[in-house]
């Protein structure tokens, strides 16, 4: 019995995360991907291909805990600051 290795990407719908998703889709089937975003509606096209979509935000520890559950490998796209004003400059 084969077990697929789940790859999580958070956040998956921004510029860097979106590029990471696009690259990973050239290497893996979408069903191996768990994509986490504050705005999961922005990932509808990848969801239609078979990726699992989860919602979470840096500001919600509980949501992050649930979103990361069961992920074997996580690509965590970090920022120099968690302050929204800094990230949006």
Q: Please tell me the CATH code under which domain 7-79 is placed.
A: 3.40.50.720
pLDDT of residue 3: 60
pLDDT of residue 89: 53
pLDDT of residue 46: 98
**What contacts 2, CB < 8 A, 6 or more positions away?**
none
pLDDT of residue 1: 44
**SS3 letters for the chain?**
CCCCCCEEEECCCCHHHHHHHHHHHCCCCHHHEEEEECCHHHHHHHHHHCCEEEECCCCCHHHHHHHHCCCCEEEECCCCCCCHHHHCC
pLDDT tens track of the chain, all 89 residues?
456 799 999 999 989 999 999 999 999 999 999 999 999 999 999 999 999 999 999 889 999 999 999 999 999 998 766 665 655 55
């Amino acid at each position: 019995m084969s077990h697929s290795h789940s790859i999580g990407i958070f956040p998956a719908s921004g510029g860097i995360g979106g590029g990471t998703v696009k690259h990973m889709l050239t290497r893996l089937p979408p069903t191996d991907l768990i994509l986490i975003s504050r705005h999961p509606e922005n990932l509808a096209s990848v969801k239609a291909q078979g990726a699992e979509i989860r919602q979470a935000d840096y500001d919600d520890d509980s949501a992050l805990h649930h979103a990361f559950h069961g992920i074997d490998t996580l690509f965590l796209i970090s920022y120099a600051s968690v302050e929204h004003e800094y990230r949006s400059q």
